[in-house]
A and B are shown apart, each in its own frame.
Chain A
Amino acid sequence: MISFSVNRRPVKLDVDPSTPLLWVLRDNLALTGTKFGCGMAQCGACTVHIDGEAVRSCVAAVSRAEGKEVTTIEGLSADLSHPLQRAWIAEDVPQCGYCQSGQLMSAAVLLREKPRPTDEDIDQAMTGNICRCGTYPRIRKAIHRAAEMMSAGGAK
């Protein structure tokens, strides 16, 4: 049995400890907001947080989450009120949308560590998240917008 917390909810699962966390989230816990992209930590679509740090869930065994707090896109906020989610909607960032949950999870770590990021900080933090639709300019714009919301007290 493996015990950890997902989006502040404790879970206890009888799964092979070597199972990728992504499959446990999607298949065992029905949290399908996190996507499978490349399966080798190259694209960022599967990004979630373990204890607040970005992790590619396609290559992280579920055993890595033992006793820890996992956050997925579903847990970023309960009601789409996270500044990043609001900024994403305001800037109409997604095109096909497939990579966007990973983009948001990476951006959340960036803003926690650098609340007022420069373009360079954004490019640096987001380089590992690929968007085949090429929404990068809107992603950058939305991150700046979210940073402004957070500095104005908009973060929950």
Chain B
Amino acid sequence: MKRSVTSLLFAAGVAAVIFAGTMSISLPVGAAEKSGGASAAARDSAKSDGALFVEFVSVLRHPRCMNCHSHGDFPRQGDDGHPHTMNVRRGPEGHGVTAEKCTTCHQDHNLAGAHMPPGAPNWGLPPPNMPMIWEGLSDGQICQSIKDPKQNKNRNLDQLVEHLTEDKLVMWGWNPGKGRTPVPMAHDEFSAKVKQWQVAGAPCPAESGKKAETGTIP
């Protein structure tokens, strides 16, 4: 009997140690898994909320892009977004009017030297029927607008990504000519982020994002 009780106590002790050991090992692991799972879920949630878009929206908000995506029927100039000198207007196709068309002064390439007209193929504004104005929009609204075929010249997502990453007029933002600030991200990095966003299904942020800014609207 004494031996049996001793055995029982020993068995109970072993079980307790095993249990305690199991607990001591399993608890932290379980907690870590739970914690890691929550982070992954948070990341997934953030991605589905459009964080991937926010990662490159600083390029779209830069004056090199915003100066032609702002309110008013005219282009803007400079980092302060002042209206284009010479009272240049958008015109019926986004390429100016009468004797003040974009190609009157702008070539398909930058001209050497400060204050010389910049240039790229198809220099111009979005057309008036799809003006693609980002000024005053949240990140989410910009995201929705560039994806909307009724606003983006009927581009599907592949065509939109191609436009953002390969169009020579957009690419000009990385090489804007002497005296102009380029967009604030390396082109390779921007392209990678845009394609990452595309692969994730091009999710848009919630509407409460930062508002786009430009110079004073005259």
Interface residues of A (CB under 8 A from B): 40-41, 47, 53-56, 59-61, 64, 105-107, 109-110, 113-114, 121, 123-129
Q: Is the CB of A125 within 8 A of B116?
A: no
A110 to B104, CA, bound (A): 13
Chain A residues, Cβ within 8 Å of B116: 40-41, 59
Chain A residues, Cβ within 8 Å of B97: 113, 124-125
Chain B residues, Cβ within 8 Å of A61: 107
| B86 nearest CB neighbor, chain A only | A128
B147, CB-defined interface residue at 8 Å: no
Q: Is the CB of A60 within 8 A of B99?
A: no
**6 cross-chain CB contacts under 8 A:** A40-B115, A47-B104, A54-B104, A55-B104, A59-B116, A113-B97
Q: How far is the CB of B43 from chain A (nearest CB, A)?
A: 50
Interface residues of B (CB under 8 A from A): 86-89, 97-101, 103-105, 107, 111, 113, 115-117
Chain A residues, Cβ within 8 Å of B111: 40, 59
Given contacts A53-B103, A109-B99, could you give 5 more A-B pairs where the C-beta distance is less than 8 Å? A56-B105, A61-B107, A113-B98, A114-B98, A124-B89
Q: Is the CB of B107 within 8 A of A124?
A: no
A55 to B105, CA, bound (A): 6
Give the residue among B86, B89, B113 with the most A Cβ atoms within 10 A. Answer: B86
Q: How far is the CB of B124 from chain A (nearest CB, A)?
A: 13
A151 to B59, CA, bound (A): 50
A121 to B100, CA, bound (A): 11
Q: Contact check: which of A40, A59, A64, A125 meets B98 at CB < 8 Å?
A: A125
A109 to B100, CA, bound (A): 9
Chain B residues, Cβ within 8 Å of A47: 99, 104
Chain B residues, Cβ within 8 Å of A110: 98-99
| B99 nearest CB neighbor, chain A only | A106
